Structure 1
């Protein structure tokens, strides 16, 4: 069963729902986004009844916003509590405390940030909303200068959100130790037997030690081969603690030089936001992550890599880091941008007056041509902004 909500559904996910005749819940939000009566619409009441009478229902959401429907309609099930274990970063740290006993974290109210003395805290640390999304309000603090800059930004006016309070709530923050290592994002699900199924592993690259943007995520054969089994081993006890079955998730971790995996966060009931990483598996590896979850299937990686060699597949988020106000921008030159990249597979344009990004790309890069990704990672995008 599919639960659709704003802000975005891709043509690929929509086609997947239609081609497979997947049930889609007929919410007001879904109907406002999708004008197609030929889909297998199911009323909210029928959906609720069907889910409540299934101990481990199959539900995929495209958006964090859809969690509000789950909280409001499925109180009789274990889903709301399972979701909160992951969505609330404080609850998540409590859940995994036994697995990572030395990990330091604490709660702080937004109102107390302005008066907090960090002399007693171990540097570096990360501060972020306990309920957050899209790196909004996230800061890495290496020194007092970083802290003063964070204090200036962390206030109600700057953190007014376009997302519902179940998705983004800036009233409570979490301070936690900075996790060393390379960052990775994983699409996975726990199947009907509670077994971990990995659908994609992406390297989240940063331009500097203080960068917290979502500019580039890349996947490849070498990344999947290297990290698939360690990540399965890492996720298994988390699934057991939360009793996860038929449960999709988007995981963010860091892996240090010794191969130790530590969790940053786990996003429940979905893959990457804005239909990004869930769609990418099709373009990168020729299988459909949404189908695999609903149909309880596993990728045959050995077969996949017989043909998918020597390529890097990336998501490039064109966040507006230019310093130019949206009101001063007439348009973003996607045509010029495509000329600077080897092979753009997909272009998605956003309303940059509403969202803090111009759009995103799916790209294919030949091994040895990583330079183009590095240039995009460090670009302020002014080259493509037209006033």
Structure 2
């Protein structure tokens, strides 16, 4: 079964629901009237009462409140909490990484933090958060003063956009910098707790201080290199949390020695805004939604053999112009598309509400990867009026 909620449901997810007749419930008034054949809250509750191995996927963590309210008799709220709360997550994996530094602080306690007690540089992020909201890298004392002001501004605005379950400003996690290359992958656990990875993407950054979500890409080489170690890691994680019939979106860093440390795990979904699962489909032909809900374990050897050698990218067009979104009258999507050899799909977003102009999927030959590197560092000013 699938819960649909704001801010975005992709055409591919809707087509999957129709094609495979998956029961779906709109918990956020995100679909058009008559667009999908929807079921009721009572039907989902009844399914879980009749079958403890029922599976539920949501495209958005906005649905978490619905799950907690209606499915409290299941393990789902417990699973959600251990991952959605980043402090609880650090406690879960503490035995796997005993020397890793982290500390929880309240929003009102930020001014009382003693920098000499923290590893410098460090990352601060909301204990419960979404996208890169409130995530900052602090390099020195001057940075810290600036970051504290930014956090206060960001959360004044964010609390009007997202439910309290998604963005909770009462608590923050301070943790040491995790060095290495960053990756994201989607996975699920079956009724026996066995883990299956459903796609791997690499997260690119424009600089050492960049914490944005501008570019993710996947390729035959990326999946081949990291499928096995990521599967082993998420299996150990699932064993610790005793996960069953549950989807996750995992973010990790891998250092130069191959040591992997998790950044966070997002519960009940793959990449938010229907991103990474759809990227996997573009690159591999696999449908991660179908795989999870139907308990399909991909034959990765065959999938990789049939893949081409192109780079498949997800480009998140966050407002990096320095101009407040409300002051922007137009974004030139046609000019943007002309920057790429093979755009696959453009998704426009209400940027005045979410400060994101849209999302773009592209297919790029390895020798033309400069087009991805260019958009990675762009402030996007050339496309706005």
Counterpart-to-counterpart distance in 2, 1:309 and 1:10? 24
* TM-score, normalised via structure 2 length: 0.96
Pairing 1:291-310 to 2, within 5 Å after superposition: 291-310=290-309
Shift of 1:193: 2.4
Helix, strand or coil at the partner of 2:295? coil
In structure 2, the CA distance between the partners of 1:368 and 1:62, relative to structure 1 (3 Å rule), is same
Please name the residue that 1:9 is paired with.
9
Counterpart-to-counterpart distance in 1, 2:340 and 2:18? 32
In structure 2, the CA distance between the partners of 1:184 and 1:37, relative to structure 1 (3 Å rule), is closer
Shift of 1:37: 6.3
194-203 or 265-274: bigger deviation: 194-203
Counterpart-to-counterpart distance in 1, 2:173 and 2:26? 36
Please name the residue that 2:197 is paired with.
198
Helix, strand or coil at the partner of 1:296? coil
Shift of 1:195: 1.4
Counterpart-to-counterpart distance in 2, 1:146 and 1:320? 22
Question: Is 2:70 aligned against 1:73?
Answer: yes
Helix, strand or coil at the partner of 1:42? coil
Counterpart-to-counterpart distance in 2, 1:38 and 1:363? 28
C-alpha distance after superposition, 1:219-248 (max 9, x if no partner): 001110001101111111110111111111
Question: Is 2:110 aligned against 1:113?
Answer: yes
Helix, strand or coil at the partner of 1:173? strand
Helix, strand or coil at the partner of 1:280? helix
Counterpart-to-counterpart distance in 2, 1:78 and 1:36? 32
Counterpart-to-counterpart distance in 1, 2:273 and 2:318? 14
Please name the residue that 1:326 is paired with.
325
Shift of 1:159: 4.7
Counterpart-to-counterpart distance in 2, 1:38 and 1:321? 35
Counterpart-to-counterpart distance in 1, 2:203 and 2:142? 26
Shift of 1:161: 4.4
Shift of 1:166: 0.6
Contact 1:187–1:200 (8 Å) recurs in 2:
yes
Question: Is 2:225 aligned against 1:226?
Answer: yes
In structure 2, the CA distance between the partners of 1:26 and 1:174, relative to structure 1 (3 Å rule), is closer
Shift of 1:76: 1.1
Please name the residue that 1:367 is paired with.
366
Counterpart-to-counterpart distance in 2, 1:159 and 1:102? 33
Helix, strand or coil at the partner of 1:153? helix
Pairing 1:97-108 to 2, within 5 Å after superposition: 97-108=94-105
In structure 2, the CA distance between the partners of 1:164 and 1:38, relative to structure 1 (3 Å rule), is closer
C-alpha distance after superposition, 1:135-192 (max 9, x if no partner): 1011111111221110121215355341100111112101111111100000111122
Match of 2:33 among 22, 32, 35: 35
Contact 2:128–2:165 (8 Å) recurs in 1:
yes
Counterpart-to-counterpart distance in 1, 2:176 and 2:285? 38
Q: Which runs of 5+ in 1 are unaligned?
A: none
**CA RMSD for the aligned pairs?**
1.4
Question: Is 2:356 aligned against 1:357?
Answer: yes
Counterpart-to-counterpart distance in 2, 1:98 and 1:302? 33
Match of 1:144 among 129, 141, 145: 141
Shift of 1:25: 2.5
Counterpart-to-counterpart distance in 2, 1:289 and 1:219? 15
Match of 1:61 among 58, 78, 88: 58
C-alpha distance after superposition, 1:92-126 (max 9, x if no partner): 11111111111111110111112322122111111
* TM-score, normalised via structure 1 length: 0.96
Counterpart-to-counterpart distance in 2, 1:38 and 1:341? 33
Please name the residue that 1:82 is paired with.
79
Please name the residue that 1:271 is paired with.
270
Counterpart-to-counterpart distance in 1, 2:101 and 2:46? 42
Please name the residue that 2:166 is paired with.
167
Counterpart-to-counterpart distance in 2, 1:62 and 1:152? 32
Shift of 1:60: 0.5
Please name the residue that 1:248 is paired with.
247
C-alpha distance after superposition, 1:261-310 (max 9, x if no partner): 10100001100000111111211111211111111112222222333222
Contact 2:5–2:26 (8 Å) recurs in 1:
no
Contact 2:83–2:266 (8 Å) recurs in 1:
yes
How many residue pairs align between the two structures? 383
Contact 2:158–2:167 (8 Å) recurs in 1:
no
Counterpart-to-counterpart distance in 1, 2:203 and 2:236? 24
Contact 1:122–1:177 (8 Å) recurs in 2:
yes
Helix, strand or coil at the partner of 2:144? helix
